[in-house]
Amino acid sequence: MSNIKNIGIMTSGGDSPGMNAAIRAVVRTGIYHGMNVFGIRRGYQGMIEGDIYKMHTTDVSNIIQRGGTILKTARSKEFMTGEGMAKAYNELKKHSIEGLVLIGGDGTFRGAVKFFEQYTMPAVGLPGTIDKDLAGTDFTIGFDTAVNTAVAAIDKIRDTAEAHDRIFIVELMGRDAGYIALNSGISCGAEDILIPETVTNIDEVLDKIAAGERRKKTVQLIVVAEGDDYGGAKEVHESISKRFPELDVRSCILGHIQRGGSPTYADRVLASRLGHAAVNALRAGNTQVMAGIMNNEVAFTPFDKVVKGNMPISEDMLDMIRVLSV
């Protein structure tokens, strides 16, 4: 076991439901093993500015059910400079911090890779991102909640779409990855799902709408990820209206509603498992890795492999969309 006694914890990048549950698990596991745990507010920017304080078990009471993050989060351009990294390292040393737990997404781990090329600081990452766009884990903290939020909203949209015989395009988050759109679209019976991982042929989308109209489908629902190559809801809406001016077409962008809200049980359990595992990894000397879940088991993946690619989209799921939307 390592001799680490003082660890820092921070959340960085976009917030995701379940981050507070992860913070709670890290703080309480660290204290259980006789460690001092320091909270770093506002991610890498707070690290640079020394916004660091010692945490106690009471600091994480009554937060497991809360969305957002009690440590706040921010993106820091300054950290990506040599001067910014030097300031961050010096602040960590001022507080005698010997190891870090980093909760965030792709940008968080890219920053970590560059930082640890310059400075020796054991660290373990936790995948806190609603997008599920990291290699090395089947699920990320916040993904399940975001999908459930999207599904609940789309179900309500379907009600009004059916009442008015409308076509609805719903745009979901997913700049680089379409997992939220894919899983939400399947769950809600969407006629088409447009995601960054596939090339969108708008003519095929329009032909499918025409076929649905011929069969007198009362609801036609299209789910599109914001990062789709053709564009978001606005671009798809314009193309449908141009070809079918007689149809009632509406679009809805759910936006940041997907980031908020109380985490689902799945995200609370996932965050707790990974937070507990992160501290134990630091104690065991297993560092510069992200803790994830693979086949329902905790797995560790080096930072440099995590940031090099997403988990691939299942071809079976893509085929299923085509079949079930007939």
Q: What pLDDT, on the 0 to 100 scale, is given for residue 311?
A: 67
Asked whether the predicted pLDDT for residue 149 surpasses 90, the reply is yes
CB 27 within 8 A of CB 9: yes
Closest CA relative to residue 260, chosen from 96, 4, 114, 68:
68
**Claim: this prediction has a pTM higher than 0.95:** no
pLDDT per position as a tens digit, 237-248:
999 999 999 988
Asked whether the predicted pLDDT for residue 2 surpasses 80, the reply is no
Of 137 and 318, which is predicted with more confidence? 137
Q: What are the tokens at 270?
A: 């996932």
Q: What are the tokens at 166?
A: 């409308």
Asked whether the predicted pLDDT for residue 273 surpasses 90, the reply is yes
Q: Which residue reads 């969108």 in tokens?
A: 200
Q: What pLDDT, on the 0 to 100 scale, is given for residue 321?
A: 78
Alpha helices for 165-264 (secondary structure H): 179-187, 202-214, 233-243
- Dist. CA 67–CA 64, nearest whole Å: 8
User: Residue 21 — very low, low, confident or very high, per pLDDT cuts 50/70/90?
Assistant: very high
- Dist. CA 314–CA 253, nearest whole Å: 26
Q: What is the mean pLDDT of the chain?
A: 92
Which amino acid is residue 240, in one-letter code?
I
Give me the catalytic one of 15, 51, 106, 131.
131
Instruction: Identify the three-state secondary structure at position 112.
Output: helix
Q: Which domains does the chain have, with CATH numbers?
A: 6-142+263-306 (3.40.50.450), 145-259 (3.40.50.460)
User: Residue 96 — very low, low, confident or very high, per pLDDT cuts 50/70/90?
Assistant: very high
* 131 noted as active-site residue: yes
Q: Are strands 99-104 and 6-11 parallel, antiparallel or unpaired?
A: parallel
Asked whether the predicted pLDDT for residue 325 surpasses 80, the reply is no
Q: Edge-to-edge strand order for the sheet containing 289-294?
A: 52-55, 36-40, 6-11, 99-104, 123-127, 289-294, 297-302
CB 46 within 8 A of CB 10: yes
The average pLDDT across 170-180 equals: 92
Q: Which of 7-11, 44-48, 103-107, 277-281 has the lowest mean pLDDT?
A: 103-107
Percent of the chain's residues with pLDDT above 70? 97
CB 151 within 8 A of CB 221: no
Q: What pLDDT, on the 0 to 100 scale, is given for residue 326?
A: 64
- Dist. CA 239–CA 246, nearest whole Å: 13
